[in-house]
């Protein structure tokens, strides 16, 4: 699988960009602030409908623009598919597949699977549990696109139930919460249904990802303690976090019963605190080095190795189920030592398409021959037009020009 073309309009610093991309390896070269990462971020957005840099979509729109557009032509086994997303300020986003509108933007998920490694990935090891939950859910959705709907339903129910808990909690203290408490029973059922399906997919993913993670970490840091991955939840019975147990098709029903039981038991505390205390929104991913958790005990180098191993494991898992995902490497080689560079380069060398950003050619390992595309700032006077892939004589004096280099291979 590879991206044959990419178009941007009013996305981040780009007013307009059109880029033709080959299969194989391509590196975007240029100084910081010239828009290299914005190109990678746009591709990542088409893949996940989210950004690896910010939590909200507002920063993705160019300053002063009411909307932004991102589109790509994806080639998979010789078949081309066009996907486009319009990000709107103050209204719902819209999407198209082959120029035809779809009802929900999430219908494009699964068309362009990617694995993105960026400096922000250190938060997978050192950051909050929300970073690791996001990693799990995005990878689950890449494998099973319909899970995006399950996640959306779960989040909607969680918001409704949390609001009801706050209201019922206040009224319970005044002894007038009969209706709200009976309504909570209904929301408990909805939360258990959607939460159980999300949990079942997460547990299955962790089980399948584990051997890839162990192998990837061993190749990156053979002298380090062995790495392991597990699922952490305060309400699951022991057989579910067990990495030796293969999750089965009946798990969702059993997990639904577990969630209902735990929600009932936790209700007094939930009413007192006004928050939902049970469910996959509170779970975490256990990252272990030997007998110690990586978070808080791993060195800086070990943390980088673990973050890299997670991404490489995700790449190999997705690759095992079909065509290669597009590998996106955002300014990461400068952060890695020689051994980690070599491990990442070895995987990148065999991928169908790899898109790399780097400040200078020396940041790219010599074993990765790549077509260079230079990203340059032409000046501050005119920021209205961006051109990509054109020859230098045809370029306007734009603030974010991308020039395809004729210098050969890196």
Three-state SS annotation for 38-69: HHHHHHHHHHHCCCCCCCCCHHHECCCCCEEE
Average pLDDT, integer, range 134-158 = 96
3-state DSSP assignment of residue 298? coil
Tell me, what DSSP letter sits at residue 122?
G
- Token pair, residue 227, equals 């790495």
- 24 is annotated as contributing to ligand binding: no
For the chain, what is the mean pLDDT?
87
Angle between helices 338-349 and 178-220 (to 10 degrees): 100
**168-177, 216-225, 234-243: which has the highest mean pLDDT?**
216-225
Look up the pTM and report it.
0.88
If one counts every other C-beta atom within 10 angstroms of the C-beta of residue 51, the result is: 17
- Token pair, residue 26, equals 């391509």
- 35 is annotated as contributing to ligand binding: yes
Domains of the chain in sequence order: 1-113+325-410 (3.40.50.300), 125-322 (1.20.1050.90)
- 34 is annotated as contributing to ligand binding: yes
Q: How confident is the model at residue 154 (pLDDT cuts 50, 70, 90)?
A: very high
Structure confidence by residue, pLDDT tens digits, 129-138: 999 999 999 9
| Buried residues in 378-398 as b, exposed as e (16+ CB within 10 A) | beeeebebbbbeeeeeebeeb
- 321 is annotated as contributing to ligand binding: no
pLDDT at position 275: 92
Alpha-carbon distance of 96 to 100, in angstroms, equals 5
246 compared with 276, residue with greater pLDDT: 276
Q: What are the C-alpha distances in Å from 209 to residues 53, 171, 243?
A: 24, 46, 10
Of the candidate ranges 53-57, 117-121, 178-182, 252-256, the one whose mean pLDDT is the lowest:
178-182
pLDDT at position 172: 62
> Is the pLDDT confidence value at 5 over 70?
yes
Alpha-carbon distance of 267 to 223, in angstroms, equals 48
pLDDT at position 308: 93
- 127 is annotated as contributing to ligand binding: no
Alpha-carbon distance of 46 to 50, in angstroms, equals 8
Structure confidence by residue, pLDDT tens digits, 345-387: 988 888 999 999 999 888 888 888 778 888 876 443 333 333 3
- 389 is annotated as contributing to ligand binding: no
Alpha-carbon distance of 26 to 229, in angstroms, equals 32
Structure confidence by residue, pLDDT tens digits, 162-197: 999 988 877 665 555 556 677 899 999 999 999 999
Where does residue 301 fall: left (phi above 0), alpha (psi -120 to 50 degrees), or beta otherwise? alpha
């Amino acid at each position: 699988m590879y991206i044959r073309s990419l178009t941007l309009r009013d996305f981040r610093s780009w007013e307009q960009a059109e880029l033709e991309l080959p299969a194989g390896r391509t590196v975007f070269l240029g100084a910081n602030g010239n828009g290299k990462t914005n190109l990678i971020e746009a591709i990542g957005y088409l893949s996940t409908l989210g950004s690896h840099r910010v939590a909200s979509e507002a920063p993705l729109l160019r300053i002063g623009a009411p909307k932004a557009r991102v589109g790509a032509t994806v080639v998979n086994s010789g078949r081309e598919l066009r996907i486009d997303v319009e990000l709107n300020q103050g209204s719902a986003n819209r999407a198209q597949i082959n120029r035809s509108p779809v009802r929900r933007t999430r219908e494009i998920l699964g068309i362009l699977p990617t694995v993105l490694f960026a400096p922000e990935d250190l938060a997978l090891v050192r950051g909050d549990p929300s970073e690791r939950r996001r990693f799990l859910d995005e990878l689950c959705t890449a494998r099973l696109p319909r899970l995006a709907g399950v996640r959306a339903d779960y989040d909607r129910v969680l918001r409704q139930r949390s609001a009801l808990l706050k209201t019922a909690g206040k009224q319970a203290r005044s002894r007038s919460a009969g209706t709200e408490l009976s309504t909570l029973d209904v929301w408990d059922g909805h939360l258990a249904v959607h939460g159980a399906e999300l949990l079942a997919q997460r547990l299955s993913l962790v089980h399948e990802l584990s051997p890839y993670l162990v192998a990837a970490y061993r190749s990156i840091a053979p002298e380090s303690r062995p790495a392991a991955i597990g699922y952490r939840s305060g309400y699951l019975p022991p057989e579910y976090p067990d990495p030796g147990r293969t999750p089965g098709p009946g798990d969702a029903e059993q997990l639904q019963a577990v969630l209902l039981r735990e929600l009932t038991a936790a209700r007094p505390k939930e009413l007192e605190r006004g928050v939902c205390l049970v469910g996959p929104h509170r779970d975490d991913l256990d990252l272990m080095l030997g007998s110690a958790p990586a978070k808080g005990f791993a060195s800086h180098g070990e943390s980088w190795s673990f973050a890299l191993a997670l991404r490489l494991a995700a790449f190999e898992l997705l690759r095992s189920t079909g065509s290669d995902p597009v590998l996106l490497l955002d300014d990461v080689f400068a952060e890695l030592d020689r051994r980690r560079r070599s491990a990442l380069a070895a995987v990148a060398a065999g991928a169908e398409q790899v898109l790399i950003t780097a400040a200078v050619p020396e940041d790219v390992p010599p074993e990765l021959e790549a077509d260079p595309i230079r990203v340059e700032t032409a000046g501050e006077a005119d920021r209205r037009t961006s051109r990509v892939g054109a020859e230098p004589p045809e370029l306007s004096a734009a603030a974010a020009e991308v020039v395809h280099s004729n210098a050969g291979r890196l």
